Amino acid sequence: MGSVLDTMECPRCKGEATTDFYYKTGEEYVFCPSCGYRRECTYLRDENGNLVTKDGTDNYEFKNLFWTEKEVQPLACYGIKFKESIATQMGCLETTEKIEEFRAEVESRKDELELAYISSYDTESETTTLEKLIDLTTPS
């Protein structure tokens, strides 16, 4: 499958969101690393990742597939980078419980981490807050 990576203005916080558009299927994923906004426009798949058809057959023509759109506006998002990795993992934290679980996980694994942060967006004040839990990427 081929895709086009791009950026766009986040519809929630107006920050820079990334888009991943699969041009062969028309599916698209959007994620904002500032506020955690996420949108997924995809064809319905089963628990094994296989496309689900309307008539239950192996006819995978677009008109025989279920189109789904999911939008998530979480309380916050996170970034975490392990010392031995070149990548930073990012994701959404949808509840206060998930935020506290993330903080606890960072605390328990702090010796393994190079970077960990929580970013949240306040819809009333329209401001983004960045809470750095660990940052060994910049000199102190």
User: Is the per-residue pLDDT at 139 higher than 80?
Assistant: no
> What pLDDT score was predicted for residue 1?
60
User: Is the per-residue pLDDT at 9 higher than 70?
Assistant: yes
In this prediction the pTM is 0.83
| Tens of pLDDT, residues 100-127 | 999 999 999 999 999 999 999 998 999 9
As a whole number of angstroms, the longest Cα–Cα distance in the chain is 61
User: Is the per-residue pLDDT at 12 higher than 70?
Assistant: yes
Closest of 75, 79, 55, 78 to residue 65, by C-alpha: 55
Structural domain spans, the chain = 3-32+38-72, 76-135
| Tens of pLDDT, residues 43-94 | 999 999 999 999 999 999 999 999 999 999 999 999 999 999 999 999 999 9
Closest of 75, 84, 66 to residue 129, by C-alpha: 75
Alpha carbon distance 29, 5 (integer Å): 10
Closest of 37, 10, 27, 28 to residue 19, by C-alpha: 28
- Confidence band (pLDDT; 50, 70, 90) for 2? confident
User: Is the per-residue pLDDT at 37 higher than 80?
Assistant: yes
Alpha carbon distance 25, 73 (integer Å): 25
Using CA atoms, how far residue 14 sits from 35, 38, 75, 86, 123, in Å, is: 9, 13, 16, 28, 11
> What pLDDT score was predicted for residue 91?
94
Alpha carbon distance 75, 132 (integer Å): 16
- What would you report as the CA-atom Rg of the chain, rounded to the nearest whole angstrom? 18
User: Is the per-residue pLDDT at 138 higher than 80?
Assistant: no
> What pLDDT score was predicted for residue 137?
80
